Amino acid sequence: MDYTFILQLIINGLVVGSIYALVATGFVIIYKATSALNLAQGEFLMVGAYLCLNLLSKYQVPFWQAILITFLFSAILGVAIERLILRPLIGSHLISVIMVTLGLSSILKALIQLAYGTDTIPFPEVFPSAPVQIGPIPVSQGYLYAIGCVTILVVILTTFFKYSKTGVAMRATASSQQVALSMGISVKKMFAISWAIAAIVSSVGGILLGTIRGGIDMSLSFMGLKVLPVVILGGLDSILGAIIGGIIIGVLENLSGGFIDPLVGGGAKEVAPYIALILILMFKPYGLFGKKKIERV
């Protein structure tokens, strides 16, 4: 068995997996705080990527400023969606919340398609692309930067949730809305902040994916569905689970792409995460780190 081939696959998996982890983190933050299932997470990622691309190539904005503007816009988008669409549906049936995010994803996808068409648009090179030699295998520098960015972001998020006043308030809201309310926390504000954070985190994922792939198109929105196996594996309400789950699913996907695809003629890479999802639901429905909910009458 070719040893470097496996290593190459694992490294690719780690990179993609770390982006899955980011998007899944956004998903989990929203689910934890508002118990809404956001199936439009992939569209957040896509909108972030397209916006950043537009700023970089059309308006020639320097990279750091472009990123900051993208973050700001994503945050506004997240808050607006929470305020206009999700808040009227608080307390309504689960299918309404699922369907409203599906409707939202159609709208965002349609808007992007109307504005940019369906062709792949090249993404400007942000990170140097010359490969670096790690042990026996060459690794693109973009990959290393991507993993670095994700790590930094995860550290920032962890610190935020652990030490900052807002972060603690958000955790309080997640564990009990009523108690949080009685302690003087504005639950509405926490909801809005969690949507904003989720949108920002996803847009980072979009920008990273754009730089790694060298181009973006409508297929970015499928990331939102790829995230479902990740969050189920990690546990729907665990950020740590989302990160570990993301990496596992990314590696799994690439390994099955490398080993099973040649046997069946392609397609296994795409379907493997969903087979994993079914297996996890059968054997460990609350995932690796999810909180077990026990229903009592």
Partner 1 sequence: MRCGDFKTSYAADMTIFESGTARVMLGLFFCLLFTLPLYVPGYLLDIVNRIGIAIIGAIGLNILTGFTGQISLGNAAFMAIGAFSCGYMGTKFGLPFYICIPMAGIITAFFGMFVGIPSLRIKGLYLAMATLAAHFIVEFLVVKWESVTGGVAGLSIPAPKIGSFSFDSDAKLFFLIFVLAIMSVLFAKNLFRTKVGKAFVAIRDQAISAEVMGVNLLKYKLFSFGISSFYVGVAGALIAYQAKIISPETFPVTVAIDYLGMIIIGGLGSILGSIYGAIFITLLPELLRMATSALAGSFPELVNKLAATKELVFGLLVIIFLIFEPSGMAARWHSIKNYWKLYPFSH
Residues 81, 32: Cα–Cα separation, whole Å: 17
In the complex, least distance from residue 67 CB atom to partner 1, rounded to whole angstroms: 27
In the complex, least distance from residue 278 CB atom to partner 1, rounded to whole angstroms: 5
In the complex, least distance from residue 205 CB atom to partner 1, rounded to whole angstroms: 20
Number of H-type helices and E-type strands within the chain:
12, 4
Nearer to partner 1, 244 or 268 (CB): 268
In the complex, least distance from residue 143 CB atom to partner 1, rounded to whole angstroms: 27
Nearer to partner 1, 82 or 140 (CB): 82
Find how far residue 267's CA is from the centre of its chain. 22
- Residue 76 tokens read as 């506004």
Nearer to partner 1, 1 or 95 (CB): 95
Nearer to partner 1, 106 or 219 (CB): 106
Nearer to partner 1, 65 or 92 (CB): 92
In the complex, least distance from residue 88 CB atom to partner 1, rounded to whole angstroms: 5
User: Comparing C-alpha atoms, which of 115, 92, 117 is closest to residue 36?
Assistant: 92
Do residues 44 and 24 lie in contact, with contact meaning Cβ atoms separated by under 8 Å?
no
Do residues 207 and 48 lie in contact, with contact meaning Cβ atoms separated by under 8 Å?
yes
Give contact residues for partner 1 (rule: CB under 8 A): 37, 85, 88-89, 92, 94-96, 98-100, 102-107, 109-111, 113-114, 225, 228-229, 232, 236, 264-265, 267-268, 270-271, 274-275, 277-278, 281-282, 285, 295, 297
Do residues 206 and 54 lie in contact, with contact meaning Cβ atoms separated by under 8 Å?
no
- Angular region, 228: left φ>0, alpha ψ -120 to 50, beta rest: alpha
